[in-house]
Chain A
């Protein structure tokens, strides 16, 4: 079955540095991969979607890469701020495998220290 792995340990970085979060998956390649932000006690909020034929996608200080050979996506936050502290979830679409659903990783908690 499809499996998604995100670093379960929290990532602690200094304000102003670039945070890099990793999402690895097994088995077949999804058509899309998404990243969400989740604050404690709240629902996830959509950030970015990248398609399998796109190597990179940017939105303000956020950048996502998608390497279908490595079966990996990297999520970067440049010039990080304490307000970026949250849990970040990656999710991949299984529609190309005949399943009409999205599966989520367990998330990586990011803490940005002043």
Chain B
């Protein structure tokens, strides 16, 4: 149980295009999903917290208009990188918190490698 998937696993796009990344909880409902960014050989940096049916809460320094987050259902959150540029190239990871389960454990997806040319 507690499987989180991401799609796509890898994407290469041209500068200026927008890219959508999906995060799904496959066997549980997630009221809260989190989006992280990870640079090579670095730690995970929280970008935003996404709550189902409400606006995402962004961490300081993360541009809301650049990284659009939608959490339309209890099993799906999407991150759209708008007008992507090479500096947006990174490993994007989502996680989900199991609704109704005690504790604050987060279950992580496998990540999406974004390369902007």
The answer to whether A and B interact is no
Name B residues whose Cβ lies closer than 8 Å to a Cβ of A. none
